């Protein structure tokens, strides 16, 4: 399957295993991942955020319940909310989720905003788990016709070492542990190159929460604009 489907499938497998109840997808674009996640009925609140309202609006009504879902409501109601907003801004409604996904988002932020994004995500939203995927620059020489970045809107592409350095630093600052994995294997079985899309799976460090973790003030922030919501 194409790489983007493998990334969505990675998230779906994680959701099946860990059964989060509240999930937010940052940089949700046309809500493709949300349309897959809405079938996992352990989820009670599914939120999508993108800075670009037109890309959300393009297909957002596809998240509406099917007629059969009105006729046979699930035991747990499912709420879906879509917001226009920037992941570098704090928004009270995104605090305390079980899972935050950031699939091919971070490389679209100007490098100078990455630190601010890390603080908002890990310090303020402070979810139990985070999945971050981003291109692995070490893999680019294996991609036919790829000179420079994989996409013109990418502000940077990190090598494995760059990504791991960023991830380990946010773990240290905000009290998380991270596992590195990815999707898209190198054809040569050369493990030193790593995956085509590199993925970090972060979990709150049970030994550190509440101790030396950087704490956030509980300011009442509202920066997102609601575009769509539906209750199943
Ligand atoms: N996550 C989707 C996927 O995997 O198919 C879409 C990834 S797309 C390459 C990156 C998305 O991030 C775009 O829809 C873009 O509008 C969004 N984005 C870029 N900067 C953002 C920001 N500061 N806040 C929220 N979304 C942003």
pLDDT tens, 44-76?
Answer: 999 999 999 999 999 998 998 877 777 666 677
Distance CA 174, CA 189 (A): 35
> Which protein residue has the closest C-alpha to ligand 1 atom 4?
103
For residue 48, report the phi and psi dihedrals to the nearest 5 degrees. Answer: -120, 140
Say how far apart CA 142 and CA 218 lie, in whole Å.
46
Please tell me the residue having the least CA distance from ligand 1 atom 18.
27
Whole-model pTM: value is: 0.94
CA–centroid distance, 82 to ligand 1, in Å, is 13
Strand order across the 129-135 sheet? 176-183, 197-204, 129-135, 99-103, 22-26, 45-50, 79-84, 225-231
Q: Which of 29, 109, 153 to mutate to test the pocket of ligand 1 (most atoms within 8 A of CB)?
A: 29
Backbone angles phi, psi at 17, to 5 degrees: -75, -40
- Residues 197, 136 contacting (CB under 8 angstroms): yes
Ligand 1 is surrounded, with C-beta below 6 A, by 4, 27-29, 32, 49-52, 55, 86-88, 103-105, 108-109
Q: Give the whole-number percent of the chain exceeding pLDDT 70.
A: 92
Predicted ipTM of the assembly: 0.99
Q: Could you read off the pLDDT of 114-142 as tens digits, one per residue?
A: 999 999 999 999 999 999 999 999 998 88
Geometric angle at alpha carbon 209, from 207 and 215, rounded to 5° = 150
Q: Distance between CA atoms of 125 and 121, rounded to whole angstroms?
A: 5
Distance CA 41, CA 75 (A): 9
């Amino acid at each position: 399957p194409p790489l983007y489907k493998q990334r969505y499938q990675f998230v779906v497998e994680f959701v099946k295993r860990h059964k989060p109840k509240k999930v937010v997808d940052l940089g949700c674009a046309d809500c493709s991942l949300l349309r897959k996640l809405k079938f996992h009925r352990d989820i009670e609140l599914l939120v999508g955020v993108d800075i670009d309202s037109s890309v959300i609006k393009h297909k957002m009504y596809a998240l509406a319940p099917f007629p059969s879902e009105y006729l046979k409501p699930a035991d747990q109601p499912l709420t879906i909310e879509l917001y226009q907003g920037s992941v570098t801004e704090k928004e009270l409604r995104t605090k305390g989720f079980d899972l935050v996904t950031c699939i091919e988002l971070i490389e679209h932020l100007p490098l100078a905003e990455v630190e601010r994004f890390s603080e908002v995500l890990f310090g303020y939203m402070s979810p139990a788990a985070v999945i971050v995927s981003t291109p692995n620059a070490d893999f680019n020489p294996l991609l036919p016709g790829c000179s420079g970045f994989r996409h013109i809107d990418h502000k940077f592409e990190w090598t494995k070492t760059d990504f791991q350095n960023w991830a380990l630093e946010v773990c240290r600052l905000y009290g998380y542990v991270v596992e590195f994995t990815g999707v898209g294997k190198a054809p040569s079985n050369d493990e030193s190159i790593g995956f085509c899309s590199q993925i970090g799976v972060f979990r709150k460090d049970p030994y550190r929460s509440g101790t030396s973790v950087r704490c956030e003030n509980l300011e009442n922030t509202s920066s997102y604009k609601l575009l769509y919501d539906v209750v199943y």
